[in-house]
């Protein structure tokens, strides 16, 4: 079996073909195209957004935009993380806990706790709080021939900040930015010699990225508490 990049949080998501909902004043086809362009999973985006908008009437355009941003983040667009967290808080303030919970794939009553947890730990997921063992959070990278970014096996990994790592691949240095739902892999600007000592992210010192000898994928794992 060929392993692909992905996030464990999506493993139990039921993927059913969802008809893209309509939202007043918003071009959701364009949003789907942008989610795809930014590396998100368009199937997940459509499904989570449909769940969030289900049964809602004509919301103000800002609410539709906020739910779409949360759905896109949930579908793996890591670049939306900061704005999506703002959008989640905004929806909670507006009494839309159930809608934003459906968009995230959790009960509305869990959203406040999830938001609080995410603010200190970008890999926080309520269901994993008391697992008591190490677990896989995500697989990232991969061989170029299978759609990944790399032509060589990834080597040493250096922590560069919260949810950020630098990895040597051949004679190149790449940067990984990841959170619970998505990740981005891009050539690093920094020279390996300048990368300095490993940096621990606040509240997430037990998250590591490890290189696997038999794969070009890197594994993001959380150590046992």
Partner 1 sequence: MSDRWQKTSASPTVPHVQHGGPRDGLTAADLFRSPEETVELDEKLRRTYFWLVNKAVISPFYDVEFDAAKANRFPLGDAGAEITLPTQPAYSSNVLLPLLTFAVGGKCLMIGGPGRGKTTLAVLMGVLAGATPDDVRRHLQQGQPQLTVSDLVGLPLPRDLVSAGSLAEITIAWKSWLTERVKIVDEYNRIPTKTQSALLTMVAEGYVESHDQLRRTAPAAGVESWFFTANDDAGGGTFQVIQALKDRLDVTVQAFGFNGRFFDELVTRVEAGERPEEHVPSSLIFSPDEQSTMLAAIRAVPLPADVRRRLEYFTGQFEFVQHGGRRFEYRTKDVVATAGGDVSAVIDANSGADLVVDLGSQTLNGLSVRALQTLILYAKASAWFRGASSVALDDVRAMVPFVLRGKLLPNPQHPRFEAGDKELAHDPASWLVDLFDTAMKQFVALGLDNADPVGDLLAELGGGLDGLDRLTVSQRLTRIESEVGRISKVGKIYGRDYDDLVALKYLHQRYSNYLHWLEGS
Binding residues for partner 1 (CB under 8 A) = 26-27, 30-31, 33-35, 37-40, 65-66, 68-69, 72, 76-84, 87, 141, 144, 148-149, 175, 177, 182-187, 189
Nearer to partner 1, 65 or 215 (CB): 65
Pair 166, 195: CB distance under 8 Å: yes
Nearer to partner 1, 38 or 128 (CB): 38
Report the nearest approach of partner 1 to the CB of residue 128 (Å).
22
Q: How far is Cα 167 from Cα 155, in angstroms, rounded to an integer?
A: 6
Nearer to partner 1, 80 or 111 (CB): 80
Nearer to partner 1, 126 or 196 (CB): 196
Report the nearest approach of partner 1 to the CB of residue 24 (Å).
13
Q: How far is Cα 3 from Cα 13, in angstroms, rounded to an integer?
A: 18
Report the nearest approach of partner 1 to the CB of residue 225 (Å).
28
Report the nearest approach of partner 1 to the CB of residue 36 (Å).
9
DSSP secondary structure string for all residues of 77-115: -GGGHHHHHHHHHHHHHTT-HHHHHHHHTS-GGGHHHHH
Torsion angle (degrees, nearest 10) of CA 187, 190, 193, 197: -100
Q: How far is Cα 20 from Cα 32, in angstroms, rounded to an integer?
A: 9
């Amino acid at each position: 079996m060929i392993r692909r990049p992905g996030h464990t949080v999506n493993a139990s998501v039921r993927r059913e073909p969802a008809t893209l909902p309509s939202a007043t004043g918003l071009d959701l086809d364009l949003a789907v195209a942008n989610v795809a362009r930014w590396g998100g999973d368009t199937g997940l985006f459509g499904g989570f957004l449909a769940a969030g908008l289900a049964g809602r009437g004509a919301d103000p355009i800002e609410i539709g935009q906020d739910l779409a941003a949360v759905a896109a983040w949930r579908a793996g667009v890591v670049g939306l993380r900061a704005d999506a967290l703002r959008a989640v808080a905004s929806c909670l303030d507006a009494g839309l806990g159930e809608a934003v919970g459906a968009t995230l794939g959790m009960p509305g009553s869990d959203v406040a706790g999830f938001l609080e947890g995410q603010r200190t730990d970008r890999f926080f997921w309520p269901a994993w709080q008391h697992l008591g063992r190490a677990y896989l959070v995500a697989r990232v990278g991969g061989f170029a021939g299978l759609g990944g970014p790399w032509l060589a096996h990834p080597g040493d990994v250096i922590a560069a900040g919260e949810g950020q790592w630098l990895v040597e691949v051949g004679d190149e240095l790449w940067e990984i930015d990841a959170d619970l739902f998505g990740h981005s892999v891009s050539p690093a600007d920094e020279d390996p010699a300048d990368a300095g000592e490993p940096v621990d992210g606040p509240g997430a010192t037990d998250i590591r990225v490890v290189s696997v000898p038999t794969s070009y994928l890197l594994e993001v794992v959380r150590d046992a508490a």
